Structure 1
Amino acid sequence: MEKNDKERLDVIWNKGQVVKGYNEKCYRKDACGAWMIREKYGDRTSPFGWEIDHIYPKSKLSESISDVSLIDDVKNLRPLNWKNNESKGNDYPSYQAKITSDGNKNVEGVYEYTVNEETQKIIEQLFKSKLC
């Protein structure tokens, strides 16, 4: 991984929820409350693996935006447990998640979430009239 890629990954990781009592460099929770482990980036074999989520789905943007660099703007990216990223798919602003946590363990189920209003406003500003 190139230095710039690592720095970008660190910026995205830092958008995860810090949990008191846990080393924030190693452990965070995603927007759905699921635990993630920093070193498990891209690891779909781990229950703590995580991926980069395009908050406003990449597939929807690529159909309607001419400046493709905006698609990967860090404002549109966040860390998400891989199972939640998979279940979220192309849904926005409401979506289903498969994982949340109970204490220090991830638990499976079906959970409904909506991207918070502050983040929705940031996305709207980023893409202005480009949103479907």
Structure 2
Amino acid sequence: MTFDEDTIQTIWEKGRVMQDHDATQWRKDECGAWIYREHYGVTDTEFGWKIEKVMPDVSERADSFRPFHHRNSYNIANGAPHCHVTADRIELAPMEHVDRPRNREL
């Protein structure tokens, strides 16, 4: 499916904003993986992302879609994300923030 730039931006804005990073460039998907705005459709980068349908309706409204890391997906049948990649918090204290986004495979 092809999306116009306005729809891509609307779906991008559904990603989780992280207080300590620029929300115009960095978000997290439903699995907690970092995604980078300029890497939409790119699959050979750590922060590439795609658009996944998350509602079983046949509608093509932006409300039916969410941004996901290119290796993660959404299973409409069971209503849950299928996560292969998430943010890397290894060796970080619970309240400590990362200074540079990083992902890890699950």
**TM-score bucket (shorter structure):** 0.7 to 0.9
1:105 match = 102
Please provide the CA RMSD for this pair: 1.9
Instruction: Give the Cα separation in 2 of the matches to 1:96 and 1:49.
Output: 16
Q: Deviation string for 1:37-89 (max 9, x for gaps)?
A: 000000011121000010136xxx5xxxxxx5x1x21111010001002xx46
Identify the match of residue 80 of structure 1 among 49, 52, 68.
Answer: 68
CA contact (8 A) 2:54 2:75 kept: no
Instruction: Give the Cα separation in 2 of the matches to 1:47 and 1:40.
Output: 9
Instruction: Give the Cα separation in 1 of the matches to 2:81 and 2:9.
Output: 25
Question: One-letter code of the match for 1:14?
Answer: E
* Structure 2, unaligned runs of 5 or more: 90-100
1:92 match = 78
Which is higher, the Rg of structure 1 or of structure 2?
A: 1
TM-score by length of 1: 0.63
Give the aligned length.
Answer: 93
* Structure 1, unaligned runs of 5 or more: 62-67, 110-132
> Does the C-alpha gap of structure 1 residues 105 and 82 become closer, same or farther in structure 2, counting only changes over 3 Å?
same
CA contact (8 A) 2:28 2:35 kept: yes
Moved over 4 A (4+): none
CA contact (8 A) 1:12 1:78 kept: yes
CA contact (8 A) 2:34 2:69 kept: yes
TM-score by length of 2: 0.77
1:50 match = 49
Identity %: 32
